[in-house]
A = this chain, B = another copy of it.
Amino acid sequence: MRNISILGSTGSIGTQTLDVIRRHKDKFKAIGLAAFGSDRDIDLIVEQIKEFKPKIVAMYSEEGAEKLKKILAHDQIGHSPNIVLSAGLKGLIDVSTFKETDQVVTAVVGSVGLIPTLEAIKHKKDIALANKETLVCAGELVMKEIKKHDVALMPIDSEHSAIFQSLQGNRRKDLSKIIVTCSGGPFRDESIWPAEKIQEATREHALKHPTWNMGGKITIDSASLMNKGLEVIEAHHLYNVPYRQIKVVVHPESIIHSMVEYRDGSIIAQLGVHDMRLPIQYALSWPSRLVSGEYGFLDLIKTKKLTFFEPDFIRFPCLQYAYTAGELGGTMPAVMNAANEVAVVEYFLQNKIKFGDIPKAINHTMNSHGEAYKKGPALEDILKADEWAREHTRSVLDVVIADKSWKNVQ
């Protein structure tokens, strides 16, 4: 029996992780659950407590923790009163480092996942990682701790899971290239979306993802290819591969989830349906594989065809910025990530700026980071750079909005 703690149990990855656990009750136990603490979170986590009977639960918001405490005190859920309740960042850490936990699924969004994950690693918990910021912002730091404490870091992202699967049974020194596939997003077709038109694209244009529905932020990142850029940085850290050996190939059908090319020229690829339960399950069951439901099986005959294109770094400058930030390393990836998050979440998704303003804001913030840029940063350096980048991006975009132009941005 493997005891799993889930940071972000009420989100998309969290609930799918619980579905995997539900299907394999003989193998896995949801020992710890944590969520942000909104009213929706509380409703859902009460259901989860009833079903999975975790030993520890945390709400990130103190208010949410109070509400949940009252519900549990009144024993409204018919569960043992021995459940440990915790709150705040401390609560997330309590869940991720809980004594009986074997593996932590980090499925919270944003940099809030970083500290509880690092703490879990220090407590020798294996990690199943769905949180992008952990590796994008603090990849050097996190991988050092992973190595030091000798824990397994399993990717949950379908691309990184595919790379991991394609590396099995091969020697790292034989690897010649990682090929990360990319759907291309809604602006893929240049005949419909030439460079100038992408500049002017709105929230509504960008939210039309051709292959599947995801949350707002990640859908915009898929449209700008920033999502792929973040994955390139993650792949660099996860597999210790130089950026020049990580290639992106546009593959609109998204059936091949990624590939590894070896020095003999042979390419190993992992293919599958679009169902996050598969990489989640693999991250929990590795090196075994477990059965999945009918939903897990791909029919290549029905798929019919797979196509491949070169990514367009001109129309999608965010992909280039990610490579640049990755190559520079240090605090730069955190700065790029923060600038992107602010531009997308606080401005573009609020209909305050156009699509073309996102890369411009990122570029400006990266270029302004100069003096504060730091190699080999400690955690506090990363958090400081993140904070600075957010402020800088806001100040720049506020000028752009006021002027309706970039001409007064220094």
Which residue numbers of A lie inside 8 Å of B, CB to CB?
Answer: 165-171, 174, 179, 249, 256, 259, 261-273, 278, 281-282, 285, 287-292, 295-298, 300-301, 303-310
Known: A266-B165, A271-B259, A300-B308. A288 touches B179 (CB 8 A): no
Q: List 15 A-B contacts (CB under 8 A).
A: A166-B268, A168-B169, A169-B169, A169-B287, A256-B269, A263-B291, A264-B289, A264-B291, A265-B272, A266-B271, A268-B271, A301-B309, A304-B308, A305-B305, A305-B308
Distance (Å) between the CB of A264 and the closest chain B CB? 5
Residues of B near A168 (CB, < 8 A) are: 168-170
Residues of B near A282 (CB, < 8 A) are: 264, 266
For the complex of A and B, list the 8 residue pairs with the smallest distance between their C-beta atoms, beginning with the closest.
A168-B169, A169-B169, A265-B296, A174-B289, A267-B271, A300-B308, A306-B306, A264-B289
Report which of B270, B297, B301, B307 forms a contact with A308, defined as CB distance below 8 A. Answer: B301
Measured in the bound complex, the distance between the Cα atoms of B280 and A266 in whole Å is: 12
Residues of B near A278 (CB, < 8 A) are: 264-266
Distance (Å) between the CB of A293 and the closest chain B CB? 9
Known: A288-B174, A303-B308, A308-B304. A270 touches B264 (CB 8 A): no
Residues of B near A267 (CB, < 8 A) are: 270-272, 298, 300
Chain A binding surface, main DSSP class = mixed
Residues of B near A305 (CB, < 8 A) are: 305-308
Residues of B near A265 (CB, < 8 A) are: 272-273, 278, 292, 295-298
Measured in the bound complex, the distance between the Cα atoms of B306 and A265 in whole Å is: 18
Distance (Å) between the CB of A155 and the closest chain B CB? 14
Measured in the bound complex, the distance between the Cα atoms of B285 and A170 in whole Å is: 12
Known: A263-B290, A271-B269. A300 touches B165 (CB 8 A): no
Q: Is the CB of B289 within 8 A of A262?
A: yes
Which has the most chain B C-beta neighbours within 10 Å: A264, A287, A291, A292? A264
Residues of B near A281 (CB, < 8 A) are: 264
Which residue of the partner chain B has the closest CB to A174?
B289
Q: Given A264-B282, A264-B291, A269-B270, 10 other A-B contacts at CB below 8 A?
A: A171-B287, A174-B289, A259-B271, A263-B290, A264-B296, A266-B282, A267-B300, A268-B270, A301-B308, A301-B310
Residues of B near A269 (CB, < 8 A) are: 256, 268-271
Report which of B167, B169, B287, B292 forms a contact with A263, defined as CB distance below 8 A. Answer: B292
